[in-house]
């Protein structure tokens, strides 16, 4: 069992006085079942039901009364029913709409039962549940491994300790950057991490990536409601990795599909958390509301999977500055993935900033909100002169803080825009992208 940050959230949930059933969402193969099964060791008694199995699913499908369902669960696993806290884990709950509807009643009628449910494609199942208990369920998302979890999987607690030191010490920079570059190549899918931790080579990872992606392609039957929709979905999932930066829906992937058809398919993949639509914001002050009329970016579930689909993993070996590879696309994608992985909310997505005017277009790679500030973040390796878009943002916003992610050592400097507006630029090494929330707090408090 590799450590996952969500485990700490589960421990806090266990101790709550007013605990709601916990619904863990996320794409297939990100480690939901493994995480909760391990968490079950925190209890004297735990019951695991996999609703893809006919016998476990029948408990909910064949019984209507909550009391009967509870008695059948305990009886089927040979566990005594007591007033002691017992974990009930309903895995692959999307297979039973009746089980989803029962979450509320299991929790209200039997407070000694600690209910966790997990599944993929939950967004599609929930839409068809007439009595989904909105407001009576806590929902979280499990993402692929972030860089912190990657270091722990490789048994490098020493490097994680250095990474958690803010600001990071210079003597740790080269080693952290080396490990981050490896992580950038292989990504954070649990099965990939497990094999890499055992063998420390990417040579035997191709089969795992292939099987993972095929499993997502096989799920298309569940995303689309008719053969035409499924055909469009197959085309998108096969061509999306080749798209560059921001996309347009019409004729996606050199097809003849219309904007509406492509949009519906992409939104289905977004719901499944396989390929997300990331829309820009156009404001420089809160609230940070995405503008869905603008062209979005595509954010894959995992950068390692995307690298495999593009076929560039071996080319990345030995790269010193990832911004110089693939015109910065990979490192931009990875830093967005790292930021998103710091939040368990089902609603959180990273966003970028655009200004689109005649002869005055600008685009900032990431926008992060800390307190009352929208902080622009550029993923760059060049000098201040290459930060044209960031300068435009600073000249419009009501604060003077900006962040650059790059391959060099941490430092903060005073910078001037071309219009002579001074601001403070915090230069963060790429590997610190998991710590953007902490660094933003440190930056504001110390400057």
Strands 401-406 and 422-429 turn out to be parallel
Cβ neighbours for 445, distance < 8 A, ≥ 6 positions apart: none
* Residue-wise pLDDT tens digits, 299-309: 999 999 999 99
Six-digit token pair at 335? Answer: 């830093």
Give me the phi and psi of 420, to 5 degrees please.
65, 30
What residue has token string 């959180």?
A: 348
Q: Which domain holds residue 105?
A: 6-141
* pLDDT at residue number 57: 97
pLDDT-derived band of residue 145, with 50, 70 and 90 as boundaries? very high
Q: How many domains does the chain have?
A: 1
Residue 99 lies in a domain: yes
Residue 269 lies in a domain: no
327 with 426: CB under 8 angstroms?
A: no
Residue 121 lies in a domain: yes
Query: Does residue 373 surpass a pLDDT of 80?
Result: yes
Residue 369 lies in a domain: no
More confident residue, 223 or 44: 44
Residue 260 lies in a domain: no
Residue ranges of E strands in 246-400: 275-278, 280-281, 297-300, 351-355, 362-370, 373-379
pLDDT-derived band of residue 382, with 50, 70 and 90 as boundaries? low
Residue 283 lies in a domain: no
Residue 156 lies in a domain: no
CATH assignment at residue 14: 3.40.50.300
Query: Does residue 398 surpass a pLDDT of 70?
Result: yes
310-319, 378-387, 409-418: which has the minimum mean pLDDT? 378-387
Mean pLDDT, all residues of the chain? 93
Residue 81 lies in a domain: yes
* Residue-wise pLDDT tens digits, 313-371: 888 888 888 887 777 889 999 999 999 999 999 999 999 999 988 777 899 999 999 99
Instruction: Give the CA count within 13 Å in the CB-facing half-sphere of 445.
Output: 9
């Amino acid at each position: 069992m590799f450590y996952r940050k969500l485990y700490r959230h589960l421990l806090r949930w266990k101790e709550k006085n007013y605990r709601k059933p916990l619904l863990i969402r996320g794409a297939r193969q990100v480690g939901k079942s493994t995480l909760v099964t391990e968490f079950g060791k925190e209890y004297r008694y735990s019951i695991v039901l996999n609703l893809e199995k006919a016998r476990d699913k029948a408990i909910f499908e064949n019984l209507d009364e909550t009391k009967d369902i509870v008695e059948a669960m305990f009886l089927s696993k040979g566990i005594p029913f007591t007033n002691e806290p017992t974990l009930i884990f309903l895995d692959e709950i999307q297979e039973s709409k009746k089980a989803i509807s029962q979450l509320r009643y299991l929790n209200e009628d039997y407070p000694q039962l600690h209910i966790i449910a997990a599944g993929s494609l939950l967004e599609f199942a929930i839409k068809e549940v007439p009595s989904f208990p909105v407001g009576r369920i806590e929902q979280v998302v499990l993402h692929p491994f972030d860089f912190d979890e990657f270091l722990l999987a490789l048994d490098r607690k020493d490097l994680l300790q250095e990474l958690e030191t803010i600001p990071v010490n210079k003597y740790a920079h080269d080693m952290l950057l080396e490990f981050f570059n490896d992580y950038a190549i292989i990504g954070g899918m649990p099965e990939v991490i497990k094999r890499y931790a055992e063998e420390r080579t990417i040579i035997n990872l191709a089969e795992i990536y292939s099987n993972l992606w095929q499993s997502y392609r096989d799920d298309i039957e569940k995303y689309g409601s008719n053969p035409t929709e499924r055909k469009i979905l197959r085309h998108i999932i096969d061509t999306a990795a080749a798209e560059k930066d921001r996309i347009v829906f019409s004729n996606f992937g050199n097809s003849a599909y219309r904007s509406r058809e492509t949009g519906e398919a992409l939104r289905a993949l977004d719901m499944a958390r396989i390929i997300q639509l990331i829309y820009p914001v156009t404001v420089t002050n809160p609230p940070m509301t995405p503008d869905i009329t603008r062209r979005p970016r595509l954010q894959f579930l995992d950068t390692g999977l995307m690298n495999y689909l593009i076929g560039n993993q071996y080319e990345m070996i030995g790269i010193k500055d990832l911004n110089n590879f693939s015109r910065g696309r990979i490192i931009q994608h990875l830093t967005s993935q790292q930021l998103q992985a710091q939040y368990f909310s089902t609603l959180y997505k990273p966003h970028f900033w655009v200004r689109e005017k005649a002869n005055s277009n600008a685009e900032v790679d990431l926008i992060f909100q800390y307190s009352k500030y929208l902080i622009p973040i550029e993923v760059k390796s060049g000098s201040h002169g290459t930060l044209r878009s960031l300068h435009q943002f600073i000249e419009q916003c009501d604060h003077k803080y900006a962040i650059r992610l790059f391959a060099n050592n941490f430092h903060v400097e005073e910078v001037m825009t071309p219009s002579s507006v001074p601001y403070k630029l915090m230069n963060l090494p790429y590997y610190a992208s998991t710590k953007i929330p902490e660094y933003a707090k440190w930056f504001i408090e110390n400057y």
